[in-house]
Structure 1
């Protein structure tokens, strides 16, 4: 499958916290960095995600914000 997102980072699922509609998935991408993605419970089930799974974090955004 080809994806248009160019920011593709491999990592390992370290935690999945279920929710009513969306779940929180934590992915260790190395060097002590953990990315958290909030995705639907349906997507978690469709991907059959589990702790320890090797996954790819895809980031595609039209805006990046910085605050101080």
Structure 2
């Protein structure tokens, strides 16, 4: 699959916390960090997401903010 999004971060699912409608998916990135995505419970099911599965965190945004202390 090819996507127009430039930010495609490979990783492995570390945890899935399922709620009534949505699920929080924690992805351990290859570089050592983590990223969390909130998606629908239905998407978790239809993608067959499970802990340990290799996935991509795909970030498509027109704006990225940078902050410092």
How many residue pairs are counted as aligned between the two chains?
A: 68
RMSD (CA atoms): 1.3
CA distance in 2 between counterparts of 1:33 and 1:42 reads 26
Aligned equivalent of 2:7 = 7
Aligned equivalent of 2:55 = 55
After TM superposition, which residue ranges in structure 1, 4 or more long, deviate above 6 angstroms?
none
Instruction: Give the TM-score, by structure 2 length.
Output: 0.87
Q: Which runs of 5+ in 2 are unaligned?
A: none
Return the offset for 1:4: 1.0
Q: Which runs of 5+ in 1 are unaligned?
A: none
Return the offset for 1:56: 0.8
Aligned equivalent of 1:46 = 46
Instruction: Give the TM-score, by structure 1 length.
Output: 0.89
